[in-house]
Amino acid sequence: MVAHTVLLDFTVSSNVVCDTDKRSNLKSSIASVLRDHFDGLKTLTDSTIDNSFFVLYAGPRSSLITVRGYAEGLVTVNIEYYKQDDEEALMSLEWRDLEADIAMALNSQRSKRLPPVRRGTIYDLYLTLSDERLLEYDIDKLVFEARSPYQKVQIVHSKSLGNLLVLDELQNMSEADLIYTETLMQRGKENYTGKEIVILGGGDGGLLWELLKEKPKYVTMLEIDDVVMKACSQHMRSICGDCLDKRKGDNYEIIVGDCVKALAHMIDEGRQFDYVFGDLTDIPISTTPHGDAWDFIRLILNSSMKVLKPSGKYMTHGNGASCPESLSMFENVLSELSVPVVFTKDSAFVPSFFEVWIFYQVMRK
């Protein structure tokens, strides 16, 4: 059961909207087409706003049709109605036919119809790219949902991606995203055999599972959200295997808690590692590298440098390649750490992100 919103827009000459007589003819032309497509159409509101207009109609099945004309020559038609699970789309209406008929009636220079937007689903069909552009996913089932003390945790099923972990309405990891983990760990370029490793975050278990295949000496994973790990252990086993089933194995341990506090404790103890993985928050999208999120990133980076061996590496993900300004800010932050560092970077197209993602490898100079 969802609300459907159908969006159509048309470009006409601006004087067709601004001129009083032409505007009246335009509204009459649209109303005539709508009555051909919708039985029992009733006008609820007809108003003029400066040189633009607004008309609201009631249609069948409690639908609302909004027609808005802008002085610049844009006319929009929005149809909203509620669809029960066992109902067909409104009147089995062919939206492309409606678009074509209105475009012809208006002699429109350009028209556009968007697929129906579905609102009110129990799972979110619409997620975003790193720069906030909208994506519609082929999600067909809610697999798991809970609110932990830290975030909203969902696992949904996508017909093309498999199960997908969504945290606070942001896609995190799908069963099709092995390339994300392999690029983060630079598989084939780094040798983890016999190495001591720390993972900051990584609650989906994908990174831990893949690192354990490389026969490290020991991996310590610091993850704050037990709800995420339990959900992934049950519903994302193709990416995490059985490594989240227990908190300690022969060559790894999962510590549930705040990684900042755990890092501080490691620094006090003088512990040193070959690799630290930052599998935490993305690089923020902001105009300046300031605020709580950036302060957190600086704290993690500086703390990680203190627990790395002189030859060690800090491995992390950045953000989408579509966010060059934020990536540049992150690189400036790297140049201002408490110890001088150099970095390399790599990229990969991550299926569930629908974009190229940037990954960093940071070393002491």
* Cα distance between residue 46 and residue 53, in whole Å: 8
What pLDDT score was predicted for residue 88?
64
Single out the residue of 170, 167, 197 nearest to residue 185, CA to CA: 197
What pLDDT score was predicted for residue 105?
94
What pLDDT score was predicted for residue 118?
87
Q: What is the pLDDT of residues 226-238, one digit of tens each?
A: 999 999 999 999 9
Q: Is the pLDDT of residue 6 over 90?
A: yes
Alpha helices in the chain (DSSP H): 14-18, 20-37, 95-106, 178-184, 206-212, 226-235, 237-240, 259-269, 292-307, 324-334
Q: What sign has the CA pseudo-torsion 316, 322, 326, 330? A: positive
Q: Is the pLDDT of residue 288 over 90?
A: no
* Cα distance between residue 166 and residue 228, in whole Å: 10
Q: What is the pLDDT of residues 86-99, one digit of tens each?
A: 666 565 558 889 99
What pLDDT score was predicted for residue 281?
84
Alpha helices in 85-225 (DSSP H): 95-106, 178-184, 206-212
For all residues of the chain together, what is the average pLDDT? 93
Q: Is the pLDDT of residue 18 over 80?
A: yes
What pLDDT score was predicted for residue 93?
59
Count other C-beta atoms under 10 Å from residue 309's C-beta. Answer: 13
Mean pLDDT computed over 309-329: 94
Q: Contact, 175 vs 204, CB < 8 A?
A: no
Q: Count of alpha carbons within 13 Å of 56, Cβ hemisphere only?
A: 7
* Cα distance between residue 7 and residue 115, in whole Å: 8
At 1, the pLDDT band (50, 70, 90 cuts) reads: low
Q: What pTM does this model have? A: 0.82
Q: Indicate the DSSP class of residue 91.
A: G
The structural domains of the chain, ordered by start, are: 2-119 (3.30.160.110), 126-172 (2.30.140.10), 178-364 (3.40.50.150)
At 287, the pLDDT band (50, 70, 90 cuts) reads: confident
CB neighbour list of residue 104: distance below 8 Å, 6 or more residues apart: none
- The CA–CA distances, whole Å, from 108 to 70, 87, 113, 219 equal 14, 33, 13, 63
Q: Contact, 114 vs 7, CB < 8 A?
A: yes
Mean pLDDT computed over 283-299: 87
What residues form DSSP beta bridges with 363? 313, 342
Mean pLDDT computed over 3-28: 94
Q: Is the pLDDT of residue 277 over 80?
A: yes
What pLDDT score was predicted for residue 86?
62
Q: Is the pLDDT of residue 122 over 90?
A: no
Q: What is the pLDDT of residues 179-194, one digit of tens each?
A: 999 999 999 999 999 9
% of the chain beyond a pLDDT of 90 = 82
Residues identified as active-site: 279
